[in-house]
Structures are given as structure tokens and as C-alpha cells.
Amino acid sequence: MHIDPITQEALRSFQAILHAKYGAHLRALYLFGSRARGDHRPDSDADVAVFLDEVTDPIGEQFDLIDRGYDILLRTGINIQPWVFEQENLSDSAPHRAAHLVTEIRREGVRL
């Protein structure tokens, strides 16, 4: 799937933030939703699934990453919408709070 240059720039910046914060605990990163499918509008956000070794407070992590992505929004106009999961949630057999969302990520997501 082709990702437009501005989205690529925003994602590269976000990846740098994630690597600085999580290091080796960052297990996988996927772009999904309209920007992954290529049917986004100019004001569409960039849904990014962040898979970590372990997550004790996924909502807290999500809000922290939204804050950290604010400068990317100002610079590129792309709002990064992070979704934080534990790595084990990528498995088909792992029951968790957002199994339907992870199914969508596996189906249409672009691994970054």
C-alpha cells in the first residue's frame, strides 16, 4: 500500500518518539484505518497501533503519546491517533479488551 509523503513524514517522527520512549520494549507498529487503505481525506487522522512488551495503563500511555504527537500535528497537519496494546494481543488466541480492533489491524494494517 502506498502511504503519502506527508503521512510518511509524520510517521517517521512518531516512530522516533516511540523508540526514544520505549526502546526495545516497542515490539510492533502498524498504520491502519483510512490512511493505510489510501482512502483518507485531508483531515483524517493516522491510526497507529503500538504493540509493547507489557502495558499496565493503556489509556494513560495513549494520552501520553497523543501529547507527544502534538508537535507532529502542528508541523505536518497529521493527527496521530495511537492505540496501545500488549504484544500478546496480536495473537488470534489472546482474549483482550479490543479483539475486534486488533483483527482489523491484522487485516488492513501496514507494519511500520
Strands 26-32 and 80-86: unpaired
Q: What 3-state DSSP class applies to 108? A: helix
| CB atoms inside a 10 Å sphere around CB 83 | 20
Domain borders along the chain are 5-111
Check residue 90 and give its pLDDT: 77
Give the H/E segment covering residue 37: helix 34-37
The architecture in CATH of the region 5-111 reads: 2-Layer Sandwich (3.30)
Residues 70-89 pLDDT 10s: 999 999 999 999 999 998 88
Copy the grid coordinates of residue 78: 497529521
Q: What percent of the chain has pLDDT over 90?
A: 76
**Structural contact between residues 48 and 82, judged by C-beta atoms closer than 8 angstroms:** yes
